[in-house]
Amino acid sequence: MVSSSSNSYSKSNPDVVKIGTSNKINTKRFTQNGQIQIYQSSYRGSYSSIIRDSLRNAALGRKVLLVQLMKGGVKQGIANSVKLCGNLTWIRSSHSFDQYNSEEIENNKDLKNSIHESINELWNFCKKELFSGTNDQIILDEIFLAIEMNIIDKDDLISTLENRFISGDVILTGTDIPKNLLLMANQITELRS
């Protein structure tokens, strides 16, 4: 049985808008976004469970984007992404931080610029994907290290997350997570050794 109440509430509350009337003030389009999940660990390289879960989600038919911002590999980058299970796109930086020791990077300005450009190219791709709504899940592995190293701007990440359009979850990983990003999270998981 369906019951309805009288229209008296809308008459006494000026913020209520009647459907079908031309008086559509105070209306706002709401978009459905998934959760922001943060996985924090005291050491790098502890996120194999996230990669495992991304493979499982892809095998179940969800479209997953896994981006490892600070890790590279042979012939990596946006143009050479790896496709797995038909639904998982796995991308690593074309010129990565992990390929060199930190002293070598600091002492070579050209190398440092090349690594920063490569990671920024990948971040700009990630921003487009976060706004596109084409993925069911996006994983930004070690994004907090890129922020800590001043490669990616923290405020740019916050703004992008606030304006994202993705029906699924965004997963962020790292070691040192800024407090205002922790406050944005729907779920925080601390991985321990």
* Digitized pLDDT (tens) for each residue of the chain, 193 residues in all: 433 333 443 344 444 434 444 444 443 333 557 899 998 887 666 667 888 888 899 999 999 999 998 887 667 888 888 888 889 999 998 877 777 777 888 888 998 898 899 999 999 999 999 999 899 999 999 999 899 989 999 999 999 999 998 778 999 998 888 888 989 999 988 877 6
- Cβ-based burial of 16 (10 A; exposed 0-12, middle 13-18, buried ≥19): exposed
Q: Which CATH class is domain 34-191?
A: alpha beta
Strand duo 82-84 + 88-93: pairing: antiparallel
pTM of the model: 0.78
Which of 187, 153, 155, 159 lies closest to 173, judged by CA?
187
Q: For helices 109-132 and 154-162, what crossing angle results, to 10°?
A: 10
Print the SS3 string covering 127-152.
HHHHHHCCCCEEEEECHHHHHHCCCC
Token couple for 84: 């797995």
